[in-house]
Structure 1
Amino acid sequence: MGVLSVVAAVLVFACAAVWGTVGVLGVTGKLPGNRWFGVRSPETGRSEAAFVLANRVAGPGYIGAAVILAMGGLLTLGVDSDWSVLFALAALVVAVGTVGIVSGLGIKAAQGLPAESTGGCDCCSGGDDHVPASGCADDKADSPADDCGQSSCGSCALQGMCETDTAATKR
């Protein structure tokens, strides 16, 4: 057994431990909102409830990816060949694909939750200094697209309305 096989096996076991832990915490609803682990996207960042829901949906897939990685690590260590590192590589590719798919499902679930009202603009990332007293920048506008490009406020309500007329007609 080569050194490369041992290193590859240790790396996939480490990834399996991380993804397995994230999956279990996600399924149980105990994964705290953070910047590094779990399903993170603008949709899951809207509220704690969206983050928890997305990770509950994706959790079983994370656990499945951890099992795939663990099996790949065992095969990498168990096969006495210079090519055994390919088991770790194949397991990593399948696990990353699995996590990508279940994360997409989690994001889809989070999109279905209504946005929590914070008294101002729910989607502002730049603070309240650019928000009029009435709330979002598009509250006084004739069209929600009137504030396109002026701030991040209202971006949740816009949902693709910032396209130019020429871009919309090219579809």
Structure 2
Amino acid sequence: MAIMVAVGIVMLIFAVYWLGFGGLATARRLPGNKYFGLRIPDVRKSKEAWDGSHVVAGPVWILAGVSFLFGALVAFRASGWMWLIPVATVLIAIVAISVGSNLGARAAHLYTLKDQEENGGCSSEGGCSCGSGGCGSSAGAPQVDMDALRNAVKNVEGV
């Protein structure tokens, strides 16, 4: 019985953490830092990417907190086979945390792609992935006179 109370207390701590963390992320109140939150390069590229990716991940992390909370409440009263319920809620919470993190990382990547598209293939930090002209941009491309090109082809065919 004492073990299940200890498990319940640990799960309650995790529940408070994930409920608070998910709530701050969803409300766009999670400050950019290197200790908490998604720690991938795409998230740290801009404030918009940080907030947007955490807004996507936050509700799923709240679900993890609710799962921990339910498991903690059951753990305080668990006896016999009922210990399976807290174990199941921990597994559900772990899946929710990983799914939320995956969704947040994907959202951050989409922000990066949008930023590159707006900057002609170049990121806002100044790095270009497709040379100096950018991907698909015609900023540095020379203008071609199509009529002159057609005339040249006709002259070559006539020779």
Give TM class, smaller chain: 0.5 to 0.7
Match of 1:128 in 2: none
**TM-score, normalization by structure 1:** 0.63
Q: Which runs of 5+ in 1 are unaligned?
A: 122-135, 141-171
* Cα separation, 1, equivalents of 2:124 and 2:129: 15
SS in 2 for 1:112: helix
SS in 2 for 1:40: coil
Q: Tell me how far apart the structure 1 counterparts of residues 124 and 64 of structure 2 sit (CA, whole Å).
A: 35
Unaligned runs of 5+ in 2: 117-122, 133-159
Aligned to 2:110: 112
Q: Which runs of 4+ in 1 moved over 4 A?
A: 82-85, 136-140
- Residues 36 and 85 of structure 1, relative CA distance in 2, 3 Å threshold: farther
Equivalent residue in structure 2 for 1:87, among 81, 85, 88: 85
Distance 1:70 1:19 in 2: 10
Deviations 1:103-136 (A, max 9, x none): 1111111111115523x44xxxxxxxxxxxxxx7
Match of 2:98 among 92, 100, 104: 100
Q: 1:63 aligns to what SS in structure 2?
A: helix
Residue 59 of structure 2 corresponds to residue 60 of structure 1: yes
- Taking structure 1 as reference, are residues 8 and 50 closer, same or farther at Cα in structure 2, changes over 3 Å only? same
Structure 1 SS opposite 2:16: helix
- The 3 A distance-change label for structure 1 pair 70 and 137 is closer
Normalising by structure 2, we get a TM-score of: 0.68
- Contact map agreement 1:72 1:91 (CA 8 A) in 2: yes
Q: Is the 8 A contact 1:12 1:70 kept in 2?
A: yes
Show the counterpart of 1:25. 24
Which residue of 2 is the match for residue 126 of structure 1?
none
Which residue is 2:154 aligned to?
Answer: none
- Matched ranges for 1:33-44 at <5 A: 33-44=32-43
Render the CA deviation track for 1:67-109: whole Å, top value 9, x for unaligned: 0100000011122x25554433322221011111121111111
Q: Which residue of 2 aligns with 1:16?
A: 15
Distance 2:10 2:32 in 1: 25
The 1:58/1:22 distance shift into structure 2, 3 A limit, reads: same
CA–CA separation in structure 1 for the residues paired with 2:94 and 2:35: 16
Inter-CA distance 36–96: structure 2 relative to 1 (3 Å threshold): farther
The match for 1:169 is: none
Q: Are the equivalent residues in 2 in contact too, given 1:57–1:102 (CA < 8 A)?
A: yes
